[in-house]
Amino acid sequence: MATIRPSSEIPWGEGVLLPCVPVDDHKLQTAMKVASLVQAVLDPTDLENPKITASDARKRMAQQVRGKVQRSVTGAKKSNVIAYGQYILEGFRRERELWDTPTMQLFREDSVELFKLPDGNGVAFLLSPGDFLVNTDGETQRMAWAWAAAREPEINNAKVAVTISHGRSVSWARQIFHDFNLLGVRPNVAVGISMDSSDVATRIARELEERSPVLKNRVMQTGRQLGQNSTELVTISALRSAVVTTLIGRTGLGLGSKPIGEKLQGIDESVLLKHVLDVWKPLLEMLIPEFNRRNETVVSAPVIMAGLGVLAHQTLPNPPRSASTEQITSEDVQKLISQICWDRSARNEHGQPISPWEGIAGKITPTGKFSIGGIKEYGHAVIEALADPDSEAGKRVRLAGDAG
């Protein structure tokens, strides 16, 4: 363990003493106020600006280290700062019931000086005015805290949990950046959705699962797709996609797993839930035979579920349904799809593989199997086939059903 000097040797007036818990000779854990954090961990966008670093020796030195252990503030990293900052802001204002931030990982080459606190209870380290720390992980979070504090000054007094690695080389820090960012396994979308309780579409999807006799205990929570021998009928991702398009219509086709709460502001969630249940429970009952042979049908595919959601959206009141979107009943939805053939594939008179859904919901692969496509690619074609029996796509999927 690193040497801990007595309190009598504390150089009062030369910096800020921060209580901490030493973990080993090169690591300590502490909590820093946001105001102190943004002073010690310099703004990365400033450090990437040559005009600023040219006139500031401390920032120039910080960038010399940071440039070797962090990636630039561009692309997704840059765009995520505002979303992360808004998340922090909502949590701090108690507009978001469930929220938290992970422990931030910081680094400095020099070893820190540790001192016994005057009361003998604990240890502190000295953070001098010229010192700087660099993120090996959590740099976006650091920028998000600063963004939030600029809009809510009280956030400067909030405390952030940090781990500081010190007395290590820059090459060590660079390797740790690699390990943190590349060795961890990012959860797939299904896992992320199944763990989320902050988004209205996810909450309603869970309620639909719980209240539908067809879906109860039959929704895959963690996998990206159903296996041949899966006992589940549909993935949570596909079910949420259906709920998203039910709530906001065609707009939902391009949103993926993004939250949709902002698009439904001012509408009572309990009212939305009621309408979703009213249209989807009987629809699912109607489709039980197709779900039960899901390996042979397209019905459980996310693109089909999303397309059905667009039909279901037309049964909702205005809002969220726009005035320009024709309103239909739940019975109308069932009638529209009653003659559809949901089979993935068949064979023509020459024994060649065909599918009524080819070019509508997917394609035939070189091996002769029908491959389901994605929502963004095929969503609009699926909607046309489901909603318009007189369209070419609509006739094809229904003609196949009549032929059978």
d(CA 300, CA 372): 10
Res 403: pLDDT: 40
d(CA 377, CA 371): 13
Lookup: tokens for 61: 């030195």
Lookup: tokens for 358: 């080819």
Helix (H) or strand (E) holding 37: helix 34-40
d(CA 27, CA 366): 56
Q: What is the pLDDT along the chain (404 residues), one digit of tens a residue?
A: 678 999 888 898 888 899 999 999 999 999 999 999 999 999 999 999 999 999 999 999 999 999 999 989 998 889 999 999 999 999 999 998 889 999 999 999 999 999 999 887 899 999 988 899 999 999 999 999 999 999 999 999 999 999 999 999 999 999 998 888 877 766 777 677 767 777 899 999 999 999 999 999 999 887 778 888 888 999 999 999 999 999 999 999 988 888 888 889 889 999 999 999 999 999 999 999 999 999 999 999 999 999 999 999 999 999 999 999 999 999 999 999 999 999 998 766 666 768 899 999 999 888 888 899 999 999 999 999 999 999 999 999 996 544 43
Helix (H) or strand (E) holding 62: helix 57-69
Res 404: pLDDT: 39
- According to DSSP, residue 258 is labeled -
Task: Confirm if 306 and 375 have CB atoms less than 8 A apart.
Answer: yes
- According to DSSP, residue 262 is labeled G
Res 399: pLDDT: 65
3-state secondary structure of 382: helix
Nearest to 176 by CA among 39, 68, 31: 68
3-state secondary structure of 32: strand
- 359: alpha, beta or left, given left = phi > 0 and alpha = psi -120 to 50? left
d(CA 203, CA 335): 28
d(CA 309, CA 305): 6
d(CA 112, CA 13): 17
Beta strand pairing call for 353-354 and 346-347: antiparallel
Name residues whose C-beta falls within 8 Å of residue 93's C-beta, 6 or more positions apart in sequence.
Answer: 152
DSSP string, 263-286: GGTTS-HHHHHHHHHHHHHHHHHH
What beta strand segments (E) does 169-328 contain? 219-220, 234-235
Res 274: pLDDT: 97
346 pairs with which residues across the strands? 354
- In order of 166, 167, 281, the CA distances from 183 in angstroms are 22, 24, 42
The three-point CA angle 32-33-34 to 5° equals 110
Res 340: pLDDT: 96
d(CA 27, CA 163): 7
